[in-house]
Chains A and B, each alone.
Chain A
């Protein structure tokens, strides 16, 4: 069906959406690039001048930058590990025939539909609050001192909240993969003498490897830009303990009123995301082939 004519017609027809998407992407990028080369402070908006790469050197040499980079990686990697391992466990459990399976599945998936700001607020005020939270109540009932989560374990708290949001996504994708495993393969493996652990390692894991790859790639994209959860709970603190790159950019722009520096930070974040994506696709992308 791919004649010269249909190919041309196809190109003409998709052109508007491609152009729109391209403009949608390129205009903010170019504007950010432009602002990143300016000395542009909101405290002194009339005094704008071209400074070249100075904003970039300032952002990169800022000691906060390395802390933020480290925090970003810790957050992304921890949440990936928790949500993928937890997701496999939840998927394995949900794959068992149990009473009320459908309701159970819906409940497991529910957190994914709660917007990040709301789930962070719920965790902050109803669960982790050291005076009135559920965890504090449990600790006191058992005779322990309540944990002051956001002061003493800030990064862990953020990781817990973000993992809670992403666990359902991972579980759902992995469950779908698990259910596509051929029943006869399971029987063949049991005849071949594979116990539960060998069966999981040799048959199940390779089968869901591709789904795991998809989960990791998609989650990474979103986890690199976690913001609402931090803004609502710790506001990047105490100190810089939970400041990741997006939050650092935000601080630069709206707390320090430095538009030029924030733009440079934004561009650096884009470059970092691309570096991460490049290595991810290199390392695990071959699972997606074939």
Chain B
């Protein structure tokens, strides 16, 4: 069991309000990702759930019970920190066993649980090493192991992959996903990287300056962003935002079109443009173009596209994939 509800949770540090009233429900077994730009309050929200910070007002419910005034160790949640926060003078075994030892479990039980966690995380050969003798990925796994043995109601991850290099990040992303499939425990995962959010989440919570901008599955957010902020945040490369006559013609203040949802022609189309740069990735071609009277556009074409800088092209958005926003940045239709 591990469902988590937030009821108008607010947090202020002194006079500065960091979380401005958040209502949110996370179901048992769900993989929820909090995503948003740096400084939007993701870590603070996670720490409020963990009990490492006190809410200024509002309630945190765990499994339907009010946990607002319960201490961090009593909430039954485990957290993996960005810096890992391993205990440097303890071996890997000592680190993983620490919570069990604090809970007063017997030596046999502890050893058995540590072995099981180590086997799950490929750490069996490293149990007697100190954290400083491990690579970044291994440290990350120890931090996860320390969380697993507690058999928590939910795992909380705060940007756990940001200290790893790109290749390892992809690998650990897959491992955490597999772990979630195996354990079926609720996980809340904080990241500023929308790719991590899109690839891992059952449910994405997009945060903007201390408020929830939108909640939904990755594809819901991709297909129907409810405003300019989410539209610009989700998707890579980012959505093209166009104002002016072509937007007004469609009855919107701003229209958005994703790079993969526009057609390019060399003869005719809606927006005449000049190619500035074509990035050939093999599977895709990213075209950076300057549209006359509109500004820069990014386009994504499948496969090889025979385009070169300074070439004149015509760009036409696919109407079905156009996103329309009113003057307040809210979605229309």
Contact = CB atoms under 8 A, between A and B. Distances in A.
B72 A206 contact: no
Nearest to B97: A192
Contacts of A207: 88-89
B300 interface: no
Nearest to A199: B102
Contact of B72 (A185, A191, A202): A191
A13 interface: no
B123 interface: no
B278 interface: no
B102 A198 contact: yes
Interface string B43-73: 0000000101000000000000000000111
Given A184-B81, A202-B98, A190 B73 contact: yes
Contacts of A185: 85, 87
B146 interface: yes
Interface in B77-92: 77-79, 81-83, 85, 87-90
A103 interface: no
Interface in A63-120: none
A182 B83 contact: yes
A203 interface: yes
Question: Which bracket fits the contact residues of B?
Answer: 20 to 34
B89 A206 contact: yes
A145 interface: no
A191 B98 contact: no
Contacts, number: 57
Contacts of A190: 52, 71-73
Nearest to A206: B89
A241 to B, nearest CB: 43
B16 interface: no
Chain B contact surface mostly = loop
B89 A187 contact: no
A14 to B, nearest CB: 32
Given A193-B73, A207-B89, A188 B81 contact: yes
B281 interface: no
Nearest to B75: A191
Chain A contact surface mostly = helix
A173 interface: no
A193 B78 CA distance: 11
Contacts of B146: 188, 192
A187 B87 contact: no
Contacts of A198: 102
A194 interface: yes
Contacts of A206: 87, 89-90
Interface of B: 50, 52, 71-73, 77-79, 81-83, 85, 87-90, 98-99, 102-103, 146, 150
Given A184-B85, A187-B79, A189-B87, 6 more contacts: A184-B82, A190-B73, A191-B52, A194-B73, A202-B87, A206-B89
The 10 closest A-B pairs by CB, nearest first: A193-B73, A184-B85, A192-B99, A188-B85, A206-B89, A193-B102, A184-B81, A185-B85, A191-B72, A194-B102
29 contacts: A182-B83, A182-B85, A184-B82, A184-B83, A184-B85, A185-B87, A187-B72, A187-B79, A187-B85, A188-B85, A188-B87, A189-B87, A189-B98, A190-B71, A190-B73, A191-B72, A191-B73, A191-B78, A191-B99, A192-B102, A193-B102, A194-B102, A198-B102, A202-B90, A202-B98, A203-B87, A206-B87, A206-B89, A206-B90
